[in-house]
A and B are shown apart, each in its own frame.
Chain A
Amino acid sequence: MCFEGNFICLNLEMGENTAIHVSQLTKVYPTGPGRPPLRAVDGISFDVRHGEVFGFLGPNGAGKTTTIRMLTGLVRPTAGSARVLGFDLATDVTRIKKRVGVVPEASNLYDELSAFDNLVFAMQLYGVPRTQRAARAGELLARFRLADRRDTLFAKLSRGMKRALTIAAALVHRPPLIFLDEPTTGLDVMSARNLREMIADLRREGATIFLTTHYLEEAERLCDRIAIIVKGHIVALDTVDGLKTSVQGQTVVEVTLSGGEGSVETVRFDGDDVATTVQAALAQATADGRRVLAVNTLRPTLEDVFVQLTGLSAEVMLAEKGGKGSSWLVGQGAEPKEQANAGR
């Protein structure tokens, strides 16, 4: 199977539909004398299918980046095995490197080179024929809306532009498999939205994407399947709908209340069933002397799934990356989760 262009071919010894096959992959780091070793990744197994966006979701230190680093040959696994695009990670890592694109968490191109020269250098490393380099660089700069920054030094680009160029540099050799490690972390809203559109475009073009992210909405919007990893273990792996179904026993009720001086407030409650949860919500509103304007029952979100599986709130996870909090916190039982729109 050959991807667009004609210099990337895949080894299809393993299942035609499997881009990555991981079996009991483990990474243990020594931590110093007298302390137990750190099991950063602890015997994880999963498959990634060709052409899908596979999300790898988890808090800091869960093992997301370590997994990417193992699958791309940056660190050697302590145990377990993996096949990437049909090549054995233990014996064929150079062939794997030739066929994957990697966008690390940090935008790590060369400050001293221009946008164009950074792309050309990446092409030189990946063996893109000399005759194709200038055209390919121009094409990528245009695609990532950087054509007018062709000769600008990487150091002088905005954070969003640096991120875009780093992604462009991972695509120079038209890899059929792309690893994206927290691609939108630290970006402003518009830059993050643009990058999500680019990721969706790549998927439409047939690339397989392995995406780690802290952003639950991003994972929900982009990913076909999601693995949730906590402390080196995969605790869930399914489609977004499949994951939501797994927590359908939980009920979330959203109540819109009138506040003082004409303000409106939306409060969420969760519980075991609709009737009990609505009763509890109404009772609390009455006790507070407030009028109920609307009551909605909500489907579980990916955030509900994440919270149930990890015990972490989305805000805690986002705070780890310096991101903004999610729109609500999660409590237990029929407790208000968050107060939104207060004072509006």
Chain B
Amino acid sequence: MLADDLRGMFYIALKDLRAYYFKPPNISWGMLFPFAFVLAFAIRNPGDLQGLVPGLLALTILFGTSSMEAIVIVFERRIGSLERLLLAPIRLPALLMGKLLGGMAFGLTVTLVVLAIALAVFGVGDVNWPLLVLTLLLSAAAFSAMGAFVSVAVKEVFEAQTLANFIRFPMILLGGVFIPVASLPLGLRIVARLLPLTYAVEALRAALTGGTLLGATLDLVVLTLFSAVVFALATRMLAHHF
């Protein structure tokens, strides 16, 4: 049964990547949108461009993983093809994990392209590679789970887009991408601490500036817990639909 689940996860992810993710508009959206955000901020506040790289990477993962992930499940539910997966001999968590892996793989791919450009421009410097890889993986898992949760929580594709943006945009503003969390008023600091993007940005900043794995432990734990809880909620909600 475990073998069936693992095989199902792998092929569902592969199918989603082929059918939905690796399409030109999706790739350009995944990379251009974060660049546009950062460029707008940099033009308004020229200065520490290198300091914006962790935020740029975090935004890329956020949009790369969650944009399509938030749509895929509700889309397949609407057209009935999700039933094909539910009829297959795999368990529901494995089905959802396959969906998550598709989002993660795409998000990580576009993020690696952006990372390569950033490193080419600013130099490798003090990068802590193990921490960077771990942070990218956990961030992708967290945001992909968030996208899946959005997708199973709604009935229509446009609702998924609306809900995803409702969650993502406050995160962009408060998650430390452009404005350091420490400089926010106390109330907003508390809100920022509830957002997974805050921890992703912090861990990425640590990874790119020679921080240690130990120093980023809290960030990594929070991202892991967030992924697990949101994944469990999404699985439960999907089961409730059938």
Contacts and interface: CB of A to CB of B under 8 A. Distances in A.
Interface of A: 72-75, 94-95, 97-98, 102, 104, 106, 108-113, 117, 121-122, 124-127, 169
Dominant SS among interface residues on chain B: helix
A94 B87 contact: no
A95 B88 CA distance: 10
Given A98-B4, A126-B89, 6 more contacts: A72-B87, A74-B86, A74-B242, A109-B84, A110-B15, A125-B85
A110 B81 contact: yes
B84 A126 contact: no
Contacts of A102: 87
Interface of B: 1, 3-4, 7-8, 11-12, 15, 18-20, 79-81, 83-91, 242
Nearest to B3: A127
Contacts of A126: 88-89
A98 B80 CA distance: 20
B4 A108 contact: no
14 contacts: A73-B86, A94-B89, A95-B89, A104-B80, A108-B80, A108-B81, A108-B84, A109-B81, A112-B18, A113-B19, A125-B8, A125-B84, A127-B4, A127-B7
Contacts of A121: 11, 15
A111 B79 CA distance: 10
B89 A104 contact: no
Contacts of B11: 121, 124-125
Contacts of A125: 7-8, 11-12, 84-85, 88-90
B18 A104 contact: no
A97 B85 CA distance: 11
A230 B137 CA distance: 53
A113 B19 CA distance: 7
B137 to A, nearest CB: 25
Nearest to A75: B242
A98 B86 CA distance: 12
A60 to B, nearest CB: 17
